[in-house]
């Protein structure tokens, strides 16, 4: 593995005074990680440098053809002052799966994780201390050939930027209102749904904007082939508790393989729950809601950890889930996962990695 050159800033920024007003993704730390790829040479020039803009030609391929992928994860401050990551090798593996689909060169998992650890270590003081705050980590790579021909780029820039982020639930966990999106789809079979690429997000923005206008928090996505089966909720995976069992859409190629999803499944199974990964139709879901069999519904993702659903609508059908309140299974998942992440619950799974 190559060495990482470190150039520290001579003008450190002031840290945010009010950690409870951080919000998400608005401010960035003093440094960033950069590494270039050149065909024939591989990844080279791994470096940590002061955070700042990068000059770019306007013909840069990523801007035109979206050959770009990213990851999202967090560093957590533990009560003893140490800093830890949550399952970073899972992010490394997913990053490489996304890269392979988008014809972007992969990298050694160890390089990916070492780059993150080294950068977080350099900017360690930026990991906030207030309860449930974290340092959001955004690794990404994009095609940098200055060329308008449509083909895989021969050069890439891999970067990691860090953003101190506030508590996701400053007012406590409030179940969200969602509705089934019947016009737009976010991904199709054979497409890029299982990758974390910017293009998937661009395709999802219109539906999210319409949902917000209608007074909903997010949309429940249906599959792009039959528009019949539930896929995800917003940019989160989705789970339902129906007659005591937990059901979640099977990873079918158009669903993103969430690390929170995987961790929830592993936790639920360790608690003795039966977890079914299978197709679940909107019809089945709303029938279960109307018969009273649907006990809880929630989204899973790094940002929110879990996000309970209090109300769902599909065309002219609508239902309240668990009286519009957070249910016991979601609450237990939230308490356990956040407990492991912030080091207040013993990590018996070996999920955390110290920086
Ligand atoms: C990132 C993401 C998720 C959640 O993945 P986590 O690893 O749990 O953060 C779910 N769906 C989509 C579309 C995503 O981009």
Predicted pLDDT of residue 118: 98
pLDDT band at 8 (very low <50, low <70, confident <90, very high): very high
Query: What is the length of the chain?
Result: 355
91: helix, coil or strand? helix
Q: What is the pLDDT of residues 269-287, one digit of tens each?
A: 999 999 999 999 999 999 9
Q: What is the pLDDT of residues 302-337, one digit of tens each?
A: 999 999 999 999 999 999 999 999 999 999 999 999
Which of the listed residues 72, 191, 200 should we mutate to test ligand 1's pocket, taking the one with most ligand atoms within 8 A of CB?
A: 72
Q: What is the pLDDT of residues 41-60, one digit of tens each?
A: 999 999 999 999 999 999 99
- Contact (CB, 8 A) for 306 and 330: yes
Percent of the chain exceeding pLDDT 70 equals: 100
**Atom of ligand 1 lying closest to residue 261 CA:** 8
Of 96-100, 138-142, 210-214, which range is least confident?
210-214
Predicted pLDDT of residue 213: 93
Does the pLDDT value for residue 34 go beyond 90? yes
**Atom of ligand 1 lying closest to residue 73 CA:** 9
Residue 270 burial (CB count, 10 A):
11
| 298 CA → ligand 1 middle, Å | 14
Contact residues of ligand 1, CB 6 A cut-off? 72, 196, 232, 235-237, 256, 258-261, 300-302
| 24 CA → ligand 1 middle, Å | 16
Does the pLDDT value for residue 189 go beyond 90? no
**CA distance linking residue 341 with residue 280, whole number of Å:** 30
pLDDT band at 93 (very low <50, low <70, confident <90, very high): very high
Residue 84 β-bridge partners: 76, 354
| 14 CA → ligand 1 middle, Å | 31
Residue nearest to atom 10 of ligand 1 (CA): 236
Query: Directed axis angle between helix 88-101 and helix 109-122, to 10°?
Result: 120
The pair of structure tokens assigned to 246 is 């937990």
Rg (CA), the chain: 21
pLDDT band at 1 (very low <50, low <70, confident <90, very high): confident
**Atom of ligand 1 lying closest to residue 186 CA:** 13
**CA distance linking residue 161 with residue 188, whole number of Å:** 30
| 234 CA → ligand 1 middle, Å | 9
**CA distance linking residue 195 with residue 88, whole number of Å:** 17
The mean predicted confidence, pLDDT, of the chain is 96
Does the pLDDT value for residue 172 go beyond 90? no
């Amino acid at each position: 593995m190559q060495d990482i050159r470190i150039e520290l800033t001579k003008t450190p920024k002031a840290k945010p005074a009010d950690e409870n007003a951080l919000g998400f993704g608005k401010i960035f730390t003093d440094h960033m990680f950069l590494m270039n790829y050149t065909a024939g040479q591989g990844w080279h020039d791994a470096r940590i440098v002061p955070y700042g803009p990068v000059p770019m030609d306007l013909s840069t391929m990523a801007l035109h053809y979206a050959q770009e992928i990213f990851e999202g994860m967090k560093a957590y401050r533990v009560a003893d002052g140490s800093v830890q990551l949550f399952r970073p090798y899972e992010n490394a593996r997913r990053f490489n799966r996304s890269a392979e689909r988008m014809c972007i060169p992969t990298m050694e998992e160890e390089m990916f994780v070492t780059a993150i650890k080294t950068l977080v270590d350099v900017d360690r003081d930026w990991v906030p201390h207030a309860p449930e705050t974290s340092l959001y980590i955004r690794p990404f790579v994009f095609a940098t050939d200055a060329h308008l021909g449509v083909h895989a780029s021969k050069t890439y820039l891999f970067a990691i930027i860090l953003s101190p982020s506030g508590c996701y639930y400053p007012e406590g966990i409030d179940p969200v209102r969602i509705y089934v999106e019947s016009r737009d789809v976010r991904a199709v079979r054979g497409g890029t749904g299982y990758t974390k690429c910017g293009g998937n997000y661009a395709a999802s923005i219109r539906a999210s904007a319409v949902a917000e206008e209608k007074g909903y928090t997010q949309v429940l996505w249906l599959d792009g082939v039959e528009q019949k089966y539930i896929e995800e909720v917003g940019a989160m995976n989705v789970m339902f508790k129906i007659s005591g069992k937990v059901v979640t859409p099977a990873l079918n190629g158009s669903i993103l393989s969430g690390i929170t999803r995987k961790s929830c499944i592993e936790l639920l199974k360790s608690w003795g729950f039966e977890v079914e990964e299978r197709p679940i139709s909107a019809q089945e879901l709303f029938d279960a809601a109307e018969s009273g069999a649907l006990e809880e519904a929630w989204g899973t993702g790094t940002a929110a950890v879990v996000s309970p659903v209090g109300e769902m609508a599909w065309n002219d059908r609508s239902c309240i889930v668990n009286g519009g309140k957070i249910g016991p299974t979601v609450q237990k998942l939230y308490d356990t996962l956040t407990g492991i992440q912030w080091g207040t619950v013993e990590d018996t799974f070996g999920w955390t990695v110290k920086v």
